[in-house]
A and B are shown apart, each in its own frame.
Chain A
Amino acid sequence: MYVRRRRCYIVKYVLKRLFMVIPILLGITFLSFALMQTASGDVIDAIYEQAGGVPSEEIVAAKRAELGLDKPFIVQYFIWLGGVLTGNMGNSYVSNRPVFQDFMSHLPATVILTLSSIFITVLFSIPLGILSAVKHNKITDYIIRILTFVGNAMPGFFLSLVLLYLFSVQLKWLPATGNNGFVSIILPTVTLAIAMTAKYTRQVRAAVLDELKKDYVLGARSRGVKERIILYFSVLKSSLLTIVTLLGLSIGSLLGGTAIIESIFMWPGVGKLAVDAITMRDYPVIQMYVIWMAVIFVVINLLTDIIYYYLDPRIRLQKER
């Protein structure tokens, strides 16, 4: 009975949340469309600017009419929206390829980079954070804290250039740019992982310290439960909520593509695609990217909530009531 009610609740909740994506999508796509329109110039200007030529008025006007850019922006927005509803995301103004396929071909690179950097981050930050908390105010703690502090203040582009200089230019161990198999992913992954590990270690440390102060830890200790058992079975489990929240945020922004890192390492992901599209004012590509961001946002938030639901009985019971 209880289990059935629970399942029923979760399904309803997920459906309700998934419906929320519709107004968000409409809002965001409209906002980005409006923003693009307020900017000076459009894709035609950008193309000719890059080519360096000065085209005649007629050619520009004809090209605009061909792409539908001469219509008022509300009309353009609804034409685009109609296309999306019938499953047509449009073609890129620049490459003239279908946007959806183009975008999907860039997605794997970003997903791989996200997974690898999150994996490395979790692998290092959780043990380091626990170590730092357990050795509170000892020399180990200080070293970890100083390192994470520096890591937090390090801009990603500086770190990536330093790593590039050390490992590609000086030692020649790793390729500098592009995507040629396993070795190319190392540098961007390490760059992203260092920055995130610095952030996570601090959070894990704070969460574990907080938990260690609680009464149940004292109770367990006085009952003679081994310190290691307390740490891994009680404290870590309770600190997982913080980690899950952070992971949700990071995965969301990593899946959006890290524009700076991707463009430094020439990693063919969606972040780089988006930046290129923005500089060329390639509306359909930008809109595709915006939709992707909104979907990630809703899905990741939903997943975090569901994981909360299973991790924390307090939240679970509260919601069921």
Chain B
Amino acid sequence: MYTAYKLTTDHTKIKFYIFLLLVGVLLLVSALAQYIVPHDPYLQDLSNALQPPSWQFPFGTDEYGRCLLSRVIVGATTTVYSSLALVLFTSVLGSIIGVFCGYIGGKTDAVIMRLSDVFLAFPGLVFAIAVAGVLGGGILNAAISLALIAWPRFTRIVRGQVLAVKNMSYMHAAKISGCPWYKMIFKHIMPNVIGPVVVTAALDIGVTIMELAGLSFLGLGAAPPTAEWGSMMSKGRSMMQTAPWTILFPGLAILLTVMLFNLFGDTIRDMFDPTQRRVSVVNCFCKLKNKVKVEGDVNV
């Protein structure tokens, strides 16, 4: 039992570090995008308009003669960082609401849960399109509309976890020994609920990138002059017959990025997954930080 467990852990760990490295490279490239692009991504040169891929322009050029490779690289900054910020924001906000709902319970809980029902009632993207349409274009508004549909998911997960640990004896013990509410939440509840949140957030990154690009594709995200993968594809749509590379390369960029983040999320899930590992979530998280050594049979 233990050997098998150890083997999978090592395997997962290696995978985790490989994907972490790749994600790191992607983040670095996006951060330094404007210094490493071969051409100015915003420089218009109509004499070079709609050039097919060549040595000078590896990804070809768009209708204004701008280098597509440079635009795809710069586009990474917009897409990747806004998606990451969005996932971080919604997971933190959703978890906080969830902890309070689960901890306080009663009417507040009931009202917020019904509200989250309403938000979950709608198919995600349609609701986001509605909100983005109402708020008007712009990447920030697109992010706000996606945040509005994403928070209930985290709230649900965290609330369920809180309810599960709330009546455990150690919670009663803490309460009897005079533990204040904030300490109860941050010291005793939070560590127990953080695992599923991290996993959900990690798996959410890929979806968020796709949804954000989808909103931009519909013209509800980043405004045209900004290089963003979704809006670049939307522009390229009309030139699909003569210049398919204008949609192919931004599309591939989205596909590969989403694949990378999905792999990363899957690996994180494998590290945390209590059904596969049969260790409590806390244990996993502590192990991730190398604080606690889990030894012997972990089948608790």
Spell out A's residues near B (CB within 8 Å).
24, 27-28, 31-32, 35-36, 38-40, 149-150, 152-158, 161-162, 164-165, 169, 252-253, 256-257, 259-260, 263-264, 271, 274-275, 278-279, 281, 286, 293-294, 297
CA of A281 to CA of B240 in the docked complex: distance in angstroms?
31
Contact at B233–A260, with CB atoms within 8 Å? no
- Report the stretch among B49-57, B86-94, B123-131 that lies at the interface: B123-131
CA distance A215 to B173 in the complex (A): 39
The reply to whether B251 and A275 form a contact with Cβ atoms under 8 Å apart is no
The 5 closest A-B pairs by CB, nearest first: A253-B123, A278-B133, A158-B251, A153-B258, A153-B259
Q: Which residues of B contact A24 (CB under 8 A)?
A: 117-118, 121
Contact of A293 among B123, B129, B206 (CB under 8 A): B123
Query: In the complex, how many angstroms separate the beta carbon of A244 from the nearest chain B beta carbon?
Result: 18
CB contacts (< 8 Å) of A152 on chain B: these are: 262
> Residue-by-residue, is B258-277 near A (CB-CB < 8 Å gives 1, otherwise 0)?
11001000000000000000
Pick the contact of B262: A28, A153, A256, A286 (CB < 8 A): A153
- The listed residue (A153, A259, A293) touching B218 by CB distance below 8 A is A259
| A162 CA to B247 CA, complexed, in Å | 9
- Chain B residues in the interface with A (C-beta under 8 A): 114, 117-118, 121-126, 129-131, 133-136, 206, 210, 213-214, 217-218, 230, 233, 237, 240-241, 244, 247-248, 251, 254-255, 258-259, 262
Question: A147 to nearest B CB, angstroms?
Answer: 12
Q: A27-B118, A155-B210, A161-B240 are in contact. Are A278 and B233 (CB under 8 A)?
A: no
B262 touches A155 (CB 8 A): no
Question: Bound complex: CA of A293 vs CA of B129, how far in Å?
Answer: 14
Q: CA of A38 to CA of B144 in the docked complex: distance in angstroms?
A: 14
Question: Do residues A155 and B254 form an inter-chain contact, with CB atoms below 8 A?
Answer: yes
Interface of A (DSSP majority class): helix
Which residues on B sit within 8 Å (CB–CB) of A293?
Answer: 121-123, 126
- A284, chain B: closest CB distance, angstroms: 15
* 20 A-B pairs whose Cβ atoms sit less than 8 Å apart in the complex: A39-B134, A149-B259, A150-B259, A153-B206, A154-B255, A155-B258, A161-B251, A165-B240, A169-B244, A256-B122, A259-B125, A259-B126, A260-B214, A260-B218, A274-B129, A275-B133, A278-B133, A286-B130, A294-B121, A297-B121
Chain A neighbourhood of B233, CB < 8 A: 157-158, 161
Cβ B135 vs Cβ A256 within 8 A: no
- A272 CB to nearest B CB, Å: 11
Q: Chain B residues with Cβ under 8 A from A161's Cβ?
A: 233, 237, 240, 247, 251
- A36 vs B135: C-alpha distance when bound (angstroms): 8
Identify B126's interface contact among A28, A35, A256, CB under 8 A: A256
Given contacts A35-B134, A158-B255, A165-B240, 11 further A-B pairs with CB under 8 A are: A28-B118, A28-B121, A36-B134, A39-B136, A154-B255, A161-B240, A164-B240, A275-B129, A278-B130, A294-B121, A297-B121
Q: Of B130, B217, B241, which is in contact with the most chain A CB atoms at under 10 Å from its CB? A: B130
